[in-house]
Structure 1
Amino acid sequence: MGQLQLNKVQKFYGDYEVLKGVELDVRDGEFVVFVGPSGCGKSTLLRMIAGLDATSKGDIIINGVRVNDLPPVKRGIAMVFQSYALYPHMTVFENIAFPLRVERMEEEKLKAKVENAARILHLETRLQQKPGMLSGGQRQRVAIGRAIVREPKIFLFDEPLSNLDAALRADMRIELAKLHRQLKATMIYVTHDQVEAMTMADRIVVLDAGNISQTGAPLELYHKPANQFVAGFIGNPKMNFLPVTCMSASEAGATVDYRGQTATLPVKPRDGMVGKMMTLGIRPEHIQLGSGEISLTVTPSVIERLGANTVAYAALGSETENFCAMLPGSVGIRADAPVAVGINAADCHLFDAEGIAFERRVELTDIDMNLLAPATA
């Protein structure tokens, strides 16, 4: 059992407030990912849960017990670091066994635990080798094995894949997802990579400057971002933002103007929105060749041909420096040649002057609605 509660957790370094009253409940068996840009406080929060950094204010509760004053070894957690933190002079077996030897576990039981962890991680044939003989992915699995043998209540991962190349990162994402399903353990994972967050998490916690900006299932954050920050952070390539003016509002939605073109976005209206400047958001994958309810002619400055897709970047005057469209891979567009693209209102998001999203009234299928809920709910 691995339940975690964060109650108004704050962290100060001198007068600088790194974390600003974070509140979060993590359910038993849930895979939660902390994601956000560098400096947002995600690694600091993980270290506070682990007991490596002290809490300035607030409470950290694991399985109903306040652990603020407990040392890391008493918290029932195991942490996997970015740097692996393996002992180069020890074999894989001894690296995995190290925390058990510290506990003075009897040899027969220790051996059984190490061999079980090695079997789970496909390291059976590597137990007598030393870390220098292993690939980056194998070294990371050894670090995870050292956590598994402790049978912790909660696993903590601090950007564990950032030292791996792209192919190994993709492989390890799959391995970690399989491991979570096999162990049914509570896992909290920190990354700045929103692709890792989207592919592995039951629930994502988006941090921004020490605050939780939004929590939810990956597709909930994709389809229903609470604000412009989350909308721009979740999704790859990131969402485009265009300045618009609200011309009218009704039960049908909000009619906005962009460079003399109007479109009615299916959002829930608010009082006082007419005449206000707002921001329209459109994801690159929702832009189409040809016309739309809002039509644009753009001249791509950079084109990335990725096989299945072609990504084009263009400037829209002084409004958007890198307006991005993700188009089919077979399109015959060229850099510095104008191309017509279109935007449909049903695909758009709308944000007020403070960046708060308007509630969208787009109908999703039953399958989509199921995917919006966390997997362990």
Structure 2
Amino acid sequence: MGQLTLKNIVKRFGAIEVVKSVSLEVADGEFMVFVGPSGCGKSTLLRMIAGLEHTSGGDIVIDGRRVNDLPPVKRGIAMVFQSYALYPHMSVYENIAFPLRVERAPEATIREKVEAAAKILHLDQRLEQKPGMLSGGQRQRVAIGRAIVRDPEIFLFDEPLSNLDAALRADMRIELTRLHKQLGATMIYVTHDQVEAMTMADRIVVLNAGYIAQVGAPLELYHKPRNTFVAGFIGNPRMNMLPVTGIEVTAAGVEVDFQGQRLLIPVAGHKALAGAPLTLGIRPEHVGIGRGEANMTITPNVVEQLGAQTIGYAPLPGREETFCFVLPGSQSTADDQPVEVSFRAADCHLFDAEGQALERMGQFD
């Protein structure tokens, strides 16, 4: 079992409240990812679950047992940090075996568990080597092996891939996903990288300023963000936000004025939205070159040629944000040259004056 329940968790450092009444259910065997910008409280929340930080309020319950007052070793968890924290003078075998030796486990048990973990992590040919002889990805696997041998109910990962280069991070994402499927254990993973969150998680918890902004499956957050914060954080490049004015609310959706063009956005609304300032969201990958339902002329001042994609960024008059569009790599555009772009109303999101999303009607195409 590896069920976790957080009930109104609060953390204060002096007068500053950094985690604000967080409640969450994590199912047995689930891969849950905490994601958000620096300072949102995600690592602090993980450290409270681990017992490395005391809670200022609320309850942490693991498999039906309140663990607030238990030390980390009694909680049935194992934590993997950003730093590998390996002993350089010890072999891979002894690094993995270290927590079992602290528990004074029998030598036969130690060998059985270390060899089983090494096989899972493809380290069985490296057991006699020292950490200095390994790559960054292999060292992180040793740190994960040290967690596996403890047979924890819950694995906690605190930005474990941050120290790796881009290629190794991609490889390790695959390794961790495979490991989760193989072990079937509950895993909670903290990252600031929304690509890691989208590719690995069963569900994502998006945190903002100590609050939970939204919890959901990756594609649920992508297609149906609850507010402008989630809409802008999930997705790369981030969603474009454009000012519009409500015109009319009908059974088919909310009609808005976008730069003199009338667009019917398929979202549920109420009469008070007529004449109100709203925010229209459109993802860069849903913008195309040429005329369509909604049109605008922009002048990109930065164009990135990535091979598979071409990404353009254009300033918007009177606004700090830039407008971004993503094209196929075979379709290019030039810096500082005006270009007409367009998008469909069906691909748009709509947010009220408080930044809350209006509920979509039906599914995205």
TM tier, smaller: over 0.9
Query: Hey, what does 1:42 align to over in structure 2?
Result: 42
Equivalent position SS for 1:73: helix
Deviation digits for residues 310-348 of structure 1 (CA, Å, limit 9, x no counterpart): 000001112353210001111131001111100210000
Distance 2:362 2:63 in 1: 39
Map residues 143-158 of structure 1 onto 2, 5 A cutoff: 143-158=143-158
Which residue identity is paired with 2:142?
Answer: V
Which residue identity is paired with 2:157?
Answer: F
Query: Hey, what does 1:102 align to over in structure 2?
Result: 102
Equivalent position SS for 2:321: strand
Query: Hey, what does 1:274 align to over in structure 2?
Result: 274
Which residue identity is paired with 2:16?
Answer: Y
Query: Hey, what does 2:29 align to over in structure 1?
Result: 29
Equivalent position SS for 1:150: coil
Unaligned runs of 5+ residues in structure 2 are: none
1:106 CA drift (Å): 0.5
Distance 1:339 1:53 in 2: 53
1:205 CA drift (Å): 0.2
Distance 1:162 1:86 in 2: 16
Map residues 18-167 of structure 1 onto 2, 5 A cutoff: 18-167=18-167
Identity percentage of aligned residues: 69
1:309 CA drift (Å): 1.0
Which residue identity is paired with 2:196?
Answer: E
Query: Hey, what does 2:201 align to over in structure 1?
Result: 201
1:242 touches 1:319 (CA, 8 Å); kept in 2? no
Which residue identity is paired with 1:167?
Answer: A
Equivalent position SS for 1:319: coil
Deviation digits for residues 327-374 of structure 1 (CA, Å, limit 9, x no counterpart): 111113100111110021000000001110001114347xxxxxxxxx
Query: Hey, what does 2:190 align to over in structure 1?
Result: 190
Distance 1:109 1:17 in 2: 44
Distance 1:291 1:40 in 2: 40
TM-score by length of 2: 0.99
Distance 1:332 1:10 in 2: 50
Distance 1:296 1:320 in 2: 18
Equivalent position SS for 2:113: helix
Query: Hey, what does 1:369 align to over in structure 2?
Result: none
Deviation digits for residues 25-49 of structure 1 (CA, Å, limit 9, x no counterpart): 0000000000000000000000000
Query: Hey, what does 2:10 align to over in structure 1?
Result: 10
Deviation digits for residues 117-147 of structure 1 (CA, Å, limit 9, x no counterpart): 0000000111111111110000000000000
Deviation digits for residues 136-189 of structure 1 (CA, Å, limit 9, x no counterpart): 000000000000000000000000000000000000000000000000000000
Equivalent position SS for 2:34: strand
Query: Hey, what does 1:370 align to over in structure 2?
Result: none
Equivalent position SS for 1:32: strand
Distance 2:200 2:352 in 1: 31
Equivalent position SS for 1:126: coil
CA change 1:94–1:121 in 2 (3 A) is same
CA change 1:196–1:237 in 2 (3 A) is same
- Give the aligned CA root-mean-square deviation in angstroms: 0.9
1:267 touches 1:359 (CA, 8 Å); kept in 2? yes
Query: Hey, what does 1:223 align to over in structure 2?
Result: 223
Equivalent position SS for 1:272: helix
Query: Hey, what does 1:340 align to over in structure 2?
Result: 340
Deviation digits for residues 80-135 of structure 1 (CA, Å, limit 9, x no counterpart): 00001111111100100000000000001110100000000000111111111110
Instruction: Detail structure 1 runs of 4+ shifted over 4 Å in the superposition.
Output: none
Deviation digits for residues 184-222 of structure 1 (CA, Å, limit 9, x no counterpart): 000000000000000000000000000000000000000
Query: Hey, what does 2:307 align to over in structure 1?
Result: 307
Equivalent position SS for 1:311: strand
1:271 CA drift (Å): 3.7
Deviation digits for residues 223-279 of structure 1 (CA, Å, limit 9, x no counterpart): 000011000000000000001100111111111112211101000012411111010
Which residue identity is paired with 1:146?
Answer: R
Unaligned runs of 5+ residues in structure 1 are: 366-377
Which residue identity is paired with 1:351?
Answer: F
Distance 2:84 2:61 in 1: 27
1:346 touches 1:362 (CA, 8 Å); kept in 2? no
